[in-house]
Amino acid sequence: MQRFKKILVGVDLAEGDRFVTEQLAPSTQQAIDRARWLAKQNSAELCFTYVLPPRAEQLSYDRQILMAEYDDYKSVGEHAQEVLDEIVNATSKLGISAVSKVIFGRCWLEIIREVVRGSYDLVIAGIRKKGPFRGMFIGHTGTKLLRKCPCPVWITKPETADVVSSILVAHDLSEVGKDALTLGASLANHWGATLHVLHVIELSVQAWADISTADDATRHIETQLSELNQENVVTKVSVISDSPEDAILDYVESREIELVVMGTFARAGLPGMLVGNTAEKVMPLLPCSLLAVKPVGFKSPVLLNYDEYNNEFA
């Protein structure tokens, strides 16, 4: 699997009132573990990145933990860099090339700007906790990354197994859906996971282009699978009529899916926005990890000169 060469890992070192802690949250550790695995498979470079809020830049370490008695009066940024350096050192011992960076600013925006600067081809980040509804709540930063980041984004759920055993590709029969299928099949091959492929025909809408029946859609997907030459991957193709968001969520829960791979679209004239409501509804509610693939030619609305476009990111 030679797909990703430069991976940015979004690291969250905050806990409660502290901007920086040495004890990594399960979500952050999961993102780091996934990134290390991918780096090994792809001979990729990793950049561990932590974005602190602007107000933390001048805040001393003793003040950021409410004046607790500490002998070390390093700045918050210096403390964060030390923690990242330990992650880099541990990663280097595994034979993986890694660097780290501490940035001050708005989290999702600075991550995307770093992706643009460094030409990264994947972002991996973890969610901190589950929401009150069906599954995890990705939150503001994760949602912004999924919408606006120019490269694929992998949002990891904490405390999942080291090896994923079930992957679902939500395939809409578009080109980006085919890209999601290719990536999902590759991951399934390396993990020995079962690959589920789901296409949903909305009850009131004809299927994609000239593929109008369940049988046609099934044959279309099976043909694409055969072209991938992943004979060792166990695949299960399902085509159903339902609302896409309900079908995907129900499928994930009933089959205990651990990773969903799906494509995103950009509306014409509105770069970085998802087409329709399916992705918007599904992404925050998934009880598992999510890998979102961007279409060829996707352009992020985020520009490096933030000040000129302040209103756009409000």
Given its phi and psi angles, is residue 26 left (phi above 0), alpha (psi -120 to 50 degrees) or beta? alpha
Q: What is the pLDDT at residue 270?
A: 40
Higher pLDDT among residues 232 and 127, named by residue:
232
Asked if the model's pLDDT at residue 106 lies above 50, the reply is yes
Look at the alpha carbons of 127, 130, 136, 139 in this order and tell me if their dihedral is positive or negative. Answer: negative
Tokens of 195: 């690959």
Residue 51: which pLDDT band, with cuts at 50, 70 and 90? very high
CB 84 within 8 A of CB 11: yes
Lowest mean per-residue pLDDT among 88-97, 98-107, 257-266, 300-309: 300-309
Rg (CA), the chain: 20
- CB atoms closer than 10 angstroms to residue 22: 10
Q: What average pLDDT does the segment 44-56 reach?
A: 92
Q: What average pLDDT does the segment 115-135 reach?
A: 75
Q: For the chain, give the number of residues.
A: 314
Residue 69: which pLDDT band, with cuts at 50, 70 and 90? very low
Mean pLDDT of the chain: 81
* Structural domains of the chain sorted by starting position, each given as residue range(s) with its CATH number in brackets: 6-126 (3.40.50.620), 166-293 (3.40.50.620)
Q: What is the pLDDT at residue 135?
A: 41
Q: What average pLDDT does the segment 67-96 reach?
A: 82
3-class state of residue 224 by DSSP: helix
Look at the alpha carbons of 306, 8, 104, 11 in this order and tell me if their dihedral is positive or negative. Answer: positive
What percentage of the chain exceeds 90 in pLDDT?
45
Q: For residue 53, give the nearest of 26, 88, 17 by alpha carbon.
A: 17
CA angle, residues 49, 51, 57, in degrees to nearest 5: 125
User: Each residue of 221-275: pLDDT tens digit?
Assistant: 999 999 998 878 999 999 988 888 889 999 999 999 999 999 876 444 444 444 4
- CB atoms closer than 10 angstroms to residue 62: 15
| Residue 192, amino acid | G
- CB atoms closer than 10 angstroms to residue 268: 8
Residue 219: which pLDDT band, with cuts at 50, 70 and 90? very high
Residue 72: which pLDDT band, with cuts at 50, 70 and 90? low
Residue 298: which pLDDT band, with cuts at 50, 70 and 90? confident
Higher pLDDT among residues 214 and 275, named by residue:
214
